Amino acid sequence: MSTHKAYIVDAATDAAVEVELHDDLNAEVLLDIEAQWTPGRQELRAKLTELGVARDQWPQSLHWDWGRKGVALVFEAPDDYRVMAVRRHATWEAALVTRSKDHVALMAPDIGSPLIYVDYLEVAPWNWTVEKVRQRKFKAVGPVLLRAAIEQSYALGFAGRIGLHALPQAVSFYASQSLQFVQNDPGKQNLPYYELSAAEAKNRTGRR
Amino acid sequence: MHDKRQMTLSLTESEMKSLEQLAQRKNLTKTGVIRLALRLFQLVEERTADGEKIFFETGDKQKTELALL
């Protein structure tokens, strides 16, 4: 397990806030993360219900359960997953799971080259801006983890390439992070599949 | 936030050996194995309490019900 210093942004003041990036955790931490996030999910679900917000407007990861994902990972891929997470003091602000085996780029000119697949990425419920309900507490949290996934890709010799399926509400975020739409994937609930090419990774990280 | 409580766990030699093997195989600590096993137990309990059944599926799509008795 390794820990690095990183920065996120206080959404109210735009001030930089120092956090810890943990880039090599195991599935057990997902139980702690879900324990911290569950009250926020429940509170938000109750508020959305109370306000009569239509279900299709609810955050699309509201039903996620990181504890359940942790159980699945240790059975499905004990040697092929990595958990990364951002922590501020004792609070987990965002989490990401990557897979590094058997995933290759579908986008030219990198077709067939290995990449890091981002299996899940979510920020804590208090870091979601939910229209008519509340503003997020911290911003620029997701990019810290995406950068960590890119660094993992470099470390494994994958030239910074990453790929992921996006929830529709997250499409604009991934586009803003230089990921390119590849195709809708019928094998994955028709979710849009995005990739960051080696060239874009290079631009994004300033590597030569 | 979410302070953890400690407990002493007594296991037979065979149970401890199984725990150590699982921890090694799954790249977890022994505590991690037990915590995730508890979460799995909860998941199974939630589903089976409503009368649902558990099946295992082989690579060629053969399904076998998990008999818990």
pLDDT in tens, A24-41: 999 999 999 999 999 999
What is the four-CA torsion angle of B28, B37, B52, B57, rounded to 10 degrees?
40
Residues of A in contact with B5 (CB under 8 A): none
Which residues of chain B lie closer than 8 angstroms to A91, CB-CB? Answer: 1
Q: Give the other-Cβ count within 10 Å of B27's Cβ.
A: 14
As a whole-number percent, the residues of chain B with pLDDT over 70 amount to 93
- What pLDDT shows up at residue A136? 93
The pLDDT value given to residue A44 = 94
Q: What is the pLDDT of residue A33?
A: 97
**DSSP H or E run through A120:** strand A116-123
The residue in chain A having the minimum alpha-carbon distance to the alpha carbon of residue B22 is A74
Which residues of chain B are within 8 Å of residue A67 when distances are taken between CB atoms? Answer: 39
Bridge partners (DSSP) listed for residue A130: A134
Q: Is the pLDDT of residue B68 over 70?
A: no
Can you tell me which residue has the tokens 């942790």?
A70
Angle between helices A28-51 and A66-76 (to 10 degrees): 140
pLDDT at B55: 86
Residue A47's pLDDT is what? 94
**Strand pairing of A116-123 and A162-165?**
parallel
User: CA angle, A197 as apex, A66 and A26 as ends, to 5°?
Assistant: 25
What gap in Å lies between CA A132 and CA A62, rounded to an integer?
Answer: 16
Residue B36: which of A28, A35, A79 has the nearest Cβ? A28
Residue contact A28–B29, C-beta within 8 A:
yes
Q: What does the alpha-carbon distance between residue A198 and residue A112 come to, in Å, rounded to a whole number?
A: 12
Contact assignment for B28 to A26 by CB distance below 8 Å = yes
Work out the number of other CB atoms within 10 angstroms of the CB of residue A94.
24
Minimal-distance CA residue of chain A relative to B4: A32
The yes-or-no verdict on residue B15 having pLDDT over 60 is: yes
Minimal-distance CA residue of chain B relative to A67: B39
Q: List chain A residues with pLDDT less than 50.
A: none
What gap in Å lies between CA A198 and CA A13, rounded to an integer? 35
The pLDDT of residue B28 is above 60: yes
- The letter for the amino acid at B63 is K
- Amino acid A135: pLDDT: 87
User: What is the percentage of chain B residues whose pLDDT exceeds 90?
Assistant: 55
* Domains recognised in chain A with CATH numbers: 3-205 (3.40.630.30)
Is B67 a residue whose pLDDT tops 80? no
Helices (H) and strands (E) in chain B, counts: 2, 2
